[in-house]
Amino acid sequence: PLQEEGGSVVLERRTLRTEPPRMYQVVMLNDDYTPMEFVVVVLQEFFYKDREAATQIMLKIHLDGKGVCGVYTRDVAATKVEQVLDAAHKAGHPLQCVSEPVE
């Protein structure tokens, strides 16, 4: 909305400030069959980790049972999960991956 004030135009914000979007972590789960190398490549390809970071995340999942691959808005997180499940399915690996809201 516009207002005139002493000859100059004042722009007034009437809407409330937009909240930042809810964020979702993509969590990968360990299993006994998916090769370590496959997980490392997935983390590099879809989560843009370098080889060293990808290897650390893979080993964390292997030891703890699960690990966070990245944090994204809802749609991006859902797309990452889809990409991982699709690649795993095509390669014949049981690798599982989920997205969950942060907090």
Q: Shortest Cβ distance from residue 61 to ligand TYC (Å)?
A: 4
User: How far, in Å, CA of 14 to CA of 61, rounded?
Assistant: 48
Pick 94 or 101: Cβ nearer ligand TYC: 94
Looking up tokens 């400030």, which residue turns up?
A: 17
Query: Any contact of residue 36 with ligand TYC (CB under 6 A)?
Result: yes
Query: Any contact of residue 99 with ligand TYC (CB under 6 A)?
Result: no
CA trace torsion 97, 74, 87, 89 (10° rounding): 50
Q: Of 12-20, 23-31, 44-52, 72-80, which segment contacts ligand TYC by CB under 6 A?
A: 23-31
